[in-house]
């Protein structure tokens, strides 16, 4: 099976790990909407939200923990939680993932989810979270 997120879990592709527990793994999104944009994934391969009725519940504690971590480490004042399920919804990687997108006062509201921000320095953000 050719799954980029399974390759990240196997250490075959590098990632900026934010969090890990028994069932879940979280890492910075390589093309973030906002600084600290993180993906939380199950450690087992589940293709999408509907493929396994347990998968979202399994990673729910990790999602909550990562949300707290991001809010605590960054100057974020809120965050968005997003799952794209199906290509028509924008899903590009078919290994279930929850997007956690920290939000900042200078760019508020749903309109702030319209574009990726190519100016974000991933290494600098990562130092603030994991350093």
Q: Catalytic residue positions? A: 97
The reply to whether 7 sits near Zn ion by the rule CB under 5 A is no
**SS3 letters for 64-89?**
HHHHHHHHHHCCCCEEEEECCCCHHH
Pick from 39, 43, 21: nearest CA to 30: 39
Asked if 24 contacts 42 with a C-beta cutoff of 8 angstroms, the reply is yes
118 touches 4 (CB < 8 A) = no
Contact characters 27-56, Zn ion, x per CB under 5 A: ------------------x-----------
Q: Rounded to whole angstroms, how far apart are CA atoms 97 and 86?
A: 12
Q: Kindly state the smallest distance separating residue 71's Cβ from ligand AMP, in Å.
A: 20
Task: For the CB of residue 25, give the shortest distance to Zn ion in the complex, in Å.
Answer: 11
Size of the site for Zn ion (CB under 5 A): 5
- The residues that touch Zn ion, with contacts defined as CB under 5 A, are 3, 5-6, 45, 95
Q: Could you list the residues that contact ligand AMP (CB under 6 A)?
A: 4, 13, 15, 27, 29-31, 39, 84, 90-93
């Amino acid at each position: 099976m050719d799954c980029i997120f399974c390759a990240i879990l196997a250490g075959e592709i590098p990632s900026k790990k934010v969090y890990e527990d028994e069932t879940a793994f979280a890492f910075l999104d390589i093309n973030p909407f906002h600084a600290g944009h993180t993906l939380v994934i199950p450690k087992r391969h589940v293709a999408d939200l509907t493929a396994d009725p347990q998968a979202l519940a399994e990673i729910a504690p990790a999602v909550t923990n990562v949300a707290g971590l991001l809010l605590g480490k960054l100057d974020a004042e809120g965050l968005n939680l997003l799952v794209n399920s199906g290509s028509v919804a924008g899903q590009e990687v078919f290994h279930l993932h929850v997007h956690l997108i920290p939000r900042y006062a200078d760019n508020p509201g749903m309109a702030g989810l319209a574009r990726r921000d190519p100016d974000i320095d991933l290494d600098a953000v990562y130092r603030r979270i994991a350093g």
